[in-house]
Structure 1
Amino acid sequence: MADKQKHVDEVSGVETTGHEWDGIRELNNPMPRWWVYTFYATMLWGIGYTIAYPAWPLLTEATTGVLGYSSRAQVSTDLADAKAGQASYVKRIASSTVDEIIADPQLQQFAIAAGASAFKVNCAQCHGSGAAGAEGFPNLNDNDWLWGGSPEELYHTIAHGVRHTGDDGTRVSEMPSFADMLTQDELRQTAAYVVSLTGTPSDAALAEPGKQLFADNCASCHGEDATGSRDFGAPNLADAIWLKGSGEQAVIEQMKTPRHGVMPAWLPRLGDNTVKQLAIFVHSLGGGE
């Protein structure tokens, strides 16, 4: 009786599954033998895999598998192999100056790769993942350097930091507050002159008296031509690169209440080799001298 109720497709002569959707019926064709055998093979493979490798979770651990494989052990082995392969390069870097490392193309390539990795872990938080910096954090891709962009100068800055308490070799510079030294009008005039070096001040008439105020109060550090001085870490004010913000108001605020950033001394934390690698990496970004 059940067989008489089965629907047979008139075109193919094949029974349907008995289901119908919007007048569409599905033919009840058997699966191809090759597909069925492949499915059975994958089942057997899966069972064998769980026996051979760690798979089944237990209360405090998982089954170890008859092969005794461990991904953690494999990673440890790979790391040990990598360190062994790096040992000769690390030893050569330890006995070379940054200039000597740069002069050796193979050693330089290794140092740049290692320095890029160290930069992402230790420096990108302030200078950005691409080293483009942000307000208050220098861009390391350009050639505007407060303390110098040669490999040795970069090494010194990274090793000893900037205004890092407790390191005798740290870079030190502080801009005094002119809030009590100049009137508000004089601050505006000085700012107008500074802005006139790289753009258009809001009131060009203020720039002329501001030039003399700059010569009297600022040129001793920033230079008569306002191009800065690396001896004092005084930035170049005659280009369009601004560390603390651009515009007259930003210049006035910096003159009234100077902001002094702090960079840690990395030598005690990272060691000589890593500091060399960082200096070479930063130098390779394009702005190094």
Structure 2
Amino acid sequence: MVEIVKSRDALAQALALIEAGDVVAIPTETVYGLAADATNGRAVARIFEAKGRPRFNPLIAHVSSSAMAEEIGELDPLSRRLVEAFWPGPLTLVLPLKEKASIHPLVTAGLDTVAVRMPRGFGAELIAALGRPLAAPSANSSGRISATTAEAVEADLGPRIPLIVDGGQTPVGLESTIVKVEGDSLRLLRPGGIAAEEIEKVAGRPLSRGGTSGVVAPGMLASHYAPNAAVRLDAQEVGRGEALLAFGPDEVAGAGGAVAARNLSSAGDLREAASNLFTMLQELDASGAATIAVAPVPETGLGEAINDRLRRAAAPRDSMANGQ
């Protein structure tokens, strides 16, 4: 039976489990993560087993300082500028892997790069106490909706893990933005909790999109973040037997007949919508509706990340297994 402990009381217990090679679900500012010692191959394998995650899908190495990041990845001047502006926070950088880095190859999926992030809060405290990076993908079954509360983690992974650290609902509600520095250019691999426009402003150059083949960073599988129900995007009306995920003040036609309804932000606030996305998808999925109709969400700012998650949730489920 999984134990749930408030974050203020959990550090020693979580650290003991991590040092023993086990996994622990922890809160971050983005979503809950399933954490293990990133230098311990058997511990990292427990993450894949608990999540049912494909092993060609790399993990993020979470650090507590830029010095720890530099022990495992090569930081060039542009990367350093982004680190200074956005760490700690929801930005992951894909860096060239240092030749003698202690990160286990399961974390990098055998690639010559490593995805690195510095979280806030309990995760940072745990990493600092451990003195080594943590691998910590989202604390959910692979391909399913990411967890933003301890209760959501328990409902999904409870029988498979020993401890959930309860830090309340995560404030950002979306996974980190993933960026790769390629010489003097930047490539957006996954939109997330920091809008692309904010990164471009600091970097002084545009972010490229697309142009990658294969899975080179977390969250790139075509089908991901999926509820059990089918997801229908850009819905202008609600069909019979459907649940509704709305956005903004305008009512969607047929909303009164929805099996269940939630509004990401009745005020049209994209930050509020991002925070609510996964929780509301889980609530609508629990309604028993076969399909969740999703109203249009603007592509600007954090809307890019929200729509990215929604498109992956709506993708054919067989693409989750083959990595397309």
Q: Does the pair score TM above 0.5?
A: no
Q: TM-score range with shorter-chain normalisation?
A: under 0.3
- Structure of greater Rg: 1
Q: TM-score, normalised by structure 1?
A: 0.21
Higher relative strand content = 2
Higher relative helix content = 1
